[in-house]
Amino acid sequence: MTNISQNHRKIALLSVLAIVPILLISNSATSFGQTNSTASNQTSTANGANSETIKLIDLSISMIKSGDNDGAKKSLLQAESALEGKSNLSGAEKHIEASLKALKEGDTNGALMHAEEAKKGLA
C-alpha cells in the first residue's frame, strides 16, 4: 500500500510540475496578444482620423478646381482643426495653412499644390 501511495504522490507532483509551466507560458502569450491588439486598435484609429482629414483635403481640392474658394476654405479649416495638437502631423498642418493663405491671396495653383502636399503628409 505504501508503494501505491508513493506512486500517486510522484504522479501528482510530476503533474503539477508539468502543468504550472504550461499555465505560465499560456498566460504570457495571452497578455502579449492583448498588448498587440491594443496597439493595433490605436493605429487603426489614428489612420481613420487621417482618412477623414484626407477626405476633407480632397473635397477642398475639388472645390478649388471648380472655383468654390469659400467652400474650399471651410473644408481646409476643418482639416486644419482635425490636425491641431498632433505634433507628428505638423508638416501637413503647415501645408494646409499655406494653402489657406494662397487661397486668400487668389493663388489657386499655390493652394492646390499645398493641399496636395498636405495630403501626402497624411498618407
Q: What is the pLDDT of residues 84-95, one digit of tens each?
A: 878 788 888 999
Q: Is 1 helix (H, G, I), strand (E, B) or coil?
A: coil
Each domain of the chain, given as residue ranges in start order, spans: 2-122
Examine the pLDDT at 110 and tell me if it is beyond 90: yes
- Residue 38 and residue 33: Cα distance in Å, rounded? 9
Note if the pTM is more than 0.85: no
Confidence of residue 42 (pLDDT cuts 50, 70, 90): very low
Mean pLDDT of the chain: 79
pLDDT (0 to 100) of residue 99? 95
84 or 35, which is more confident? Answer: 84
Please count the helices (runs of H) and the strands (runs of E) in the chain.
4, 0
2-122: in CATH 1.20.1640.10: no
Residues 92, 83 contacting (CB under 8 angstroms) = yes
Question: Can you tell me which residue has the cell 480632397?
Answer: 58
